[in-house]
Structures are given as C-alpha cells and as structure tokens.
Amino acid sequence: MSTESSGDSEYESDTGPRDNPRCSNFENNEPVKNGFECTERGSNIRALNRKGRAICRIVSAHGWTLSQIMHIFRVPEKPISKALKNLYSPNDDTGKDYDFVDAEFRKKFPPLKYARGHIVPSPSINTGQDPSGDGGDDPSNSFQSNSTLKRPLANENQGTWHLVKKPRYDYLSQAPHPLPHQFFQPKHSPELLSFLKDVRGLDLSKHVDLFIDRGLQDVAALRLMATWERAKLEETLAREFMGSAEKLAGRKGLTALEVISLELAIRALSSRKTA
C-alpha cells in the first residue's frame, strides 16, 4: 500500500502542492498539467516531495532519461538529478521507493528483478519538448544537441538534451508517442557501426556501447552534433567520452587522439550533408 508521508527520517519538500505524474503520463509521454515553481534556498532547489523522488528513480531504472523525466514532471534539471543521485539530505531509503507509489505504478514499472520484457517503454529520438526552468549546473550530467527542443544552445535554433550515466539503456530525447523499448540489450544502427569502424582511419567500433550509453544510437544524432559550434563540440566530446564522467561510469573512455579524430569525423558529416 502506497503512502504519501516519508516520516521524520527523509527529506520532504515544503514548497506546497505539486502534481506528481501518473502512469498514464509516462505511457502517453504526456507532461503533468500543473507544473510548480521551484523555490531556491541558498544553493538548494526544493521541488520534489518523497513520492516524486521515488517516481523519478523507479522510471529511471526502466530506461527513462533525465530529460524525459524533466519533460513529464515539468521541472528543471537540478531537482530531478538530485533525486536520481539520492543527494537530498537526509538521503532517501531507496529500498522503500515502491511504498510511495500506487499499484498501477508497481505493475507497469515493477522492480527489475521481477520485470519481464518491456513494460512502459522510454521515448525515442529527436522530438518532444523541453521542460521549463533552469537546466542546472552539473556538467557531468548534461549532454547538449540542436534537437527540436526549445531551449537555445549555440543559437536560437538549437536545443538541449541531457544524459544520466546508468547501464544498459538508451539515453536520448523525447518523442510524442513512446516506441518499443528493448529491456536488456540496446540497439544501434548498422550505419553507426560502419561509421565507428573507420573514424579517420581508427576503428572505434569496440566503443559502440559507450555511444549507446550517451544516446547516440545512429549517425543522425552525430549529424546534429556536427552543426554545433566548434568549442561546444570539443568540450562535449572530451567530457562525455574522455572525462571524469567516464571514470564514474566504470568504463574506459576514448583516448585524446580518438576524441580528436571523432570530432573531425563528426564535423565532416555536416560537410557531407550539405555537399
């Protein structure tokens, strides 16, 4: 039986009523109708109550990304990111997350040890809307692109997507209608594998899972990156494929030479498209 109260041992936001999503919001990739304002106190943004944080972690375990969850909740990045990392103080007892959701959530998003096949699939690539609010300030958790999202990046026509490091699942943006989601083995396109086999003479195909973890499951996503400003592309590739985020993920990243070659190969995709 679900509960709305976390007791004295876990943090409960005091920012007033909020509209936590239902299962139907995730099934239809539909944001909640009543978003809520975030209240800043010092360096903290308090927005999610205990139930909301539980929902974030539960759907994240089923492959929903940071940006997708932001889209459904209609809140900025920082509260969602803190919930996923369990950074609220005192920390939540994540083993009790399912005590805070209803029976429908437990059925559609069961604990992974009980899950069979895909339940409520995470959305797919390149469409959707960005939630309102500040995107936060944790560079290890943001991955930016000029997709169809609304928030500007390098210019008014560019938008943003965000990534959270978590094994096995695809990490990209939202779609208006969810597509089937592979539960245990993410797929990549043959075109991506072909591209990685010859990155300016280097074979990076052994790193294909790393690209999938970053939400780059096909060459179309790389072509979007090819339109970025040079400094933004250099910074993002170094951070996401060679930087500290990779160490946290426990997987060996690309070398400096491989990152430089990858940048040049991605930039060449833009020239190839317009040629």
Please tell me the predicted confidence (pLDDT) of residue 187: 56
The one-digit pLDDT tens for each residue of the chain (275 residues) are 444 444 445 545 444 455 789 988 888 888 888 665 555 444 444 568 899 999 999 988 888 888 888 888 888 888 888 899 988 878 889 999 999 999 999 888 888 765 444 345 555 433 333 433 333 333 333 333 333 222 222 333 333 333 333 333 333 333 333 433 433 344 567 888 899 999 989 999 988 888 887 778 888 889 988 998 888 888 888 888 876 554 545 567 888 888 889 999 999 998 765 44
Please tell me the predicted confidence (pLDDT) of residue 243: 61
Domain boundaries, the chain: 1-184, 187-275
The region that residue 87 occupies, defined by phi over 0 for left and psi between -120 and 50 for alpha, beta otherwise, is: alpha
Where would I find the H helices in the chain? 23-27, 50-61, 66-73, 77-85, 103-108, 190-197, 208-213, 219-225, 230-241, 244-249, 256-274
User: Is the whole-model pTM more than 0.75?
Assistant: no
**Of 168, 172, 159, nearest in space to 124 by CA:** 172
The residue type found at 129 is Q
At 177 the three-state DSSP class reads coil
